[in-house]
């Protein structure tokens, strides 16, 4: 078990580029990297490493995506790719309670009013944990991502 890993500038650039490529595909404005969102992601990644469980934080004021994958096999970009794969099930319809668990990672990535991104990693056992935070948050029931 280890605490949060500070992402390198190259990792941050790659995560931001991957998010912005997904956003560009649907006409959403690009995100900027946020120190505030990163600090929250680092704090929560540390908590998840200590708990050795994947669960969403509560009341942070950020949207949040989580990914868990085998260390050495998956990296942080695999998390973004997994979230983006949910696009196959999203056609621009309003979010519902039933739909949000199926496409919610993807829709948070491309939510039109979101402007900031911050991510961090940690590990527990043989698992990589990725936390990405978004501000302002998205995924409002009854609204569309695009």
**In 10 A of CB 2, how many CB atoms?**
14
Residue 70 CA to residue 88 CA, distance in Å, equals: 24
∠12-77-90 over CA atoms, to 5°?
115
For residue 2, which of 52, 38, 41 has the smallest C-alpha distance?
52
- Contact status, residue 141 vs residue 96, Cβ threshold 8 Å: yes
Question: Residue 66: what pLDDT?
Answer: 98
Which value, to the nearest 10 degrees, does the dihedral of the CA atoms of residues 58, 64, 68, 69 take? -170
| Residue 4: predicted pLDDT | 62
Reading the chain (146 residues) residue by residue, the pLDDT tens digits are: 445 667 999 999 999 999 999 999 999 999 999 999 999 999 999 999 999 989 999 999 999 999 999 999 999 999 999 999 999 999 999 999 999 999 999 999 999 999 999 999 999 999 999 999 999 999 999 999 99
Residue extents of the structural domains in the chain: 1-34+42-53+62-72+119-145
pLDDT value for 6: 78
The model's pTM: 0.94
User: How confident is the model at residue 1, as a pLDDT?
Assistant: 41
pLDDT score recorded for residue 53? 87
Backbone angles phi, psi at 55, to 5 degrees: -150, 150
């Amino acid at each position: 078990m280890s605490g949060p890993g500070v992402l390198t500038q190259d990792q941050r650039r790659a995560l931001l580029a991957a998010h912005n490529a997904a956003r560009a595909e649907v006409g959403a404005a690009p995100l900027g990297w946020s120190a505030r969102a990163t600090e929250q992601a680092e704090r929560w990644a540390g908590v998840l490493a200590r708990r050795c469980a994947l669960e969403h934080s509560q009341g942070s004021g950020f949207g949040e995506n989580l990914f868990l994958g085998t260390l050495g096999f998956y990296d942080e970009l695999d998390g973004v790719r997994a979230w983006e794969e949910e696009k196959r099930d999203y056609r621009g319809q309003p979010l519902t309670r039933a739909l949000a668990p199926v496409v919610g990672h993807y829709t948070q990535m491309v939510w039109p009013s979101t402007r900031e991104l911050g991510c961090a990693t940690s590990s527990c056992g043989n698992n990589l944990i990725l936390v990405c935070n978004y501000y302002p948050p998205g995924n409002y029931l009854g609204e569309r991502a695009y």
